Chain A
Amino acid sequence: MAIPKICGIETEYGILIRGVAESNPISSSSMLINSYLSLLEGDRIGWDFEDEMPGNDARQDQRLLSVAPEVETHLVNAVLTNGARYYVDHAHPEFSAPECIDAAQALLYDRAGEEILLQSMAAAQRQMPDGQEIVVYKNNSDGKGNSYGCHENYLMDRATPFPSIVLHATTHFVTRQIFTGSGKVGTEMPGVRRDSVPFQLTQRADFFEEEVGLETTLKRPIINTRDEPHADPVKYRRLHVIAGDANMAEVATFLKLGSTAILLAMIEDEVLDDLPQLAHPVPAMHQVSQDLSLSEPLLLADGSSMTALEMQWLILEHAQNWAGSRGLSSVGEEVGEQILQRWEEVLNGLDQDPLSLASQVDWVAKYRLFQASMERHGLDWSSPRLAAMDLQYHDLRAGTSLSRRMGLERLTTDAQVALAITEPPPETRAYFRGRCLARFPEQVVAANWDSLVFDIGESALQRVPMLEPGKGTQEAVGALIDSSADAAELLQRLK
């Protein structure tokens, strides 16, 4: 029986410092995040973003709302009261959303991450010299051969053999690109002329060179084998997915996570045995991304062929059958129904009129905008103007973001997103992490995905292990945390 598909998204943002000849992305990322953390402390900088968080009393928030995690690093690294980790990874600011109970919630926290980056930019701006600005971009490529990731994580049953994950997840990761792609002008494949591909479906496909492997920064594999469950290693696996684009379209994010959660649950339930396998996954990854006609056949292991769209229809059909026979509890009953419905609608759209999906799928929105712009200004695909638009589509700032002007369909509300900036998901251990941090900021000395360390004034620090991602929920510990006067009382009552 499939286990709950607890999931989450980690996003590395592109960062640009305007107004300087040369800049250091590491120190800029640090400054960006520190500016946000200072904002939470409420003393160095006036508390002025309460307007963006209706329902929250700013005074309640005027205390330390972040803490250093256990990992020692000279770079900025914080855990937030919504259960997220916000830090400098390599040379980028990264927001790792908290563990979420389903795809809809993971989308919500991804959006909260965008808002946190926006608030960080605004806070950093007040410390920058005139004429300088830090800007972040939620994309995956600089157009010059450098990529940075938007990774997904899914909780899986350790009992499921890894080879069957490799087999079926590969098929999905290659073919789901037709709705997860954020679109890109040109190609960045080594040795290939940039303009030999005018426009492709995804930001990331160019950077995948292996089928399976441990790497994430070079020779990137379609299936990443990093085995770091951040949970009980005997019971769980965390599938770390690096083969996806960062999406601006909420529908794309929702469907990327939702379809993958269902696919992985079906692998656990062993219902995919007859799913066809790709003969050559890596070339297929590139082929799908570059096929705007959505009609190129992919060679299968048995010698026959199918298009990516046909393979997605087949996976969806399996998913519908699976839902009928096994139920949707592992991905959330209601959310599971929404995923299946949306999946079918989007595949229908891709089948009949891809341009009809301009409010749901990023590459379509981008493609449509670029076509119109080329027509108006008499440009071709190699125009720097299009390359600039390609970047600016992923700008988060209201005044300059292109994607925010394109009428992308919303699945979240502003009020939900505002709440998710400070409040943790109620249904996972992220609740315990976030709520303890909010209630006992002086007594939480370190936090990590699978433990929390308290200083309650005794000689030894107290570590609370959190090896069960589904435990420590609001229902289980909410009242206990809230009614404890301090962390010492909480730990006593938890025993």
Chain B
Amino acid sequence: MPERELKKKPEPQQRESEADLSPAVAESGTKIKAELDDLLDEIDEVLETNAEEFVKSYIQKGGQ
């Protein structure tokens, strides 16, 4: 068995500003929306037309 190079967890990066200390996934919706605009167009087209009715009808009993 050849020697394996053991990879260690990198040191935590220095946080650059106070804002980065907020929740890890609290990136602004605006930025994500800009990235996903085309996808959102497509998804809005295929999404259930009556969301409320669809969600209400989805009942699953008797599962493990």
Contacts and interface: CB of A to CB of B under 8 A. Distances in A.
Contact of A142 (B9, B33, B60): B60
Interface stretch (A42-50, A121-129, A290-298): A290-298
A12 B63 CA distance: 8
A385 B47 contact: yes
A287 B1 CA distance: 41
Given A375-B30, A399-B46, A216 B55 contact: no
B59 to A, nearest CB: 6
A399 B46 CA distance: 7
B59 A142 contact: yes
A148 B64 contact: yes
B29 A384 contact: no
Interface in A339-360: 344, 347-348, 350-352, 354-355
B64 A12 contact: yes
Contacts of A323: 4
Interface centre among B7, B25, B29, B35 (most CB of A within 10 A): B25
A324 interface: yes
Interface stretch (A58-66, A364-372, A455-463): A364-372
A338 B1 CA distance: 17
A141 B9 CA distance: 35
A84 to B, nearest CB: 17
A89 B64 CA distance: 9
A387 B25 contact: no
A323 B6 CA distance: 10
By size class, the interface of chain B is 35 or more
A399 B47 CA distance: 10
A14 B43 contact: no
A147 B52 CA distance: 20
Given A16-B58, A320-B4, A369-B43, A147 B33 contact: no
Contacts of B10: 348, 351
B64 to A, nearest CB: 4
Nearest to B42: A405
Interface string B20-64: 001111110110110111011011001110011011011111111
B13 interface: yes
A405 B43 contact: yes
B63 A90 contact: yes
Nearest to B30: A375
B47 A392 contact: yes
A213 interface: no
Interface centre among B1, B39, B58 (most CB of A within 10 A): B58
Contacts of B35: 372
A171 to B, nearest CB: 17
Contact of A327 (B1, B9, B46, B59): B1
Interface string A400-443: 10100110000000000000000000000000000000000000
Interface centre among B26, B29, B52, B55 (most CB of A within 10 A): B55
A372 B57 CA distance: 26
A132 interface: no
Given A146-B63, A385-B47, A317 B32 contact: no
Contact of A292 (B4, B25, B42, B51): B25
Interface centre among A141, A147, A327, A388 (most CB of B within 10 A): A388
A355 B43 contact: no
B47 A375 contact: no
Contacts of B27: 355, 371
Given A294-B24, A374-B29, A387 B6 contact: no
Interface of B: 1, 3-4, 6-10, 12-13, 22-27, 29-30, 32-33, 35-37, 39-40, 42-43, 46-48, 51-52, 54-55, 57-64
30 contacts: A12-B63, A14-B60, A90-B62, A91-B60, A91-B61, A92-B60, A217-B63, A292-B25, A320-B6, A327-B1, A344-B7, A354-B24, A364-B25, A371-B29, A372-B40, A373-B40, A375-B30, A375-B32, A376-B33, A383-B51, A384-B51, A385-B47, A387-B55, A388-B52, A388-B55, A389-B43, A389-B47, A392-B47, A402-B46, A402-B47
Given A292-B25, A369-B43, A372-B39, 9 more contacts: A137-B58, A146-B60, A217-B62, A355-B25, A355-B27, A372-B29, A372-B32, A375-B30, A375-B32
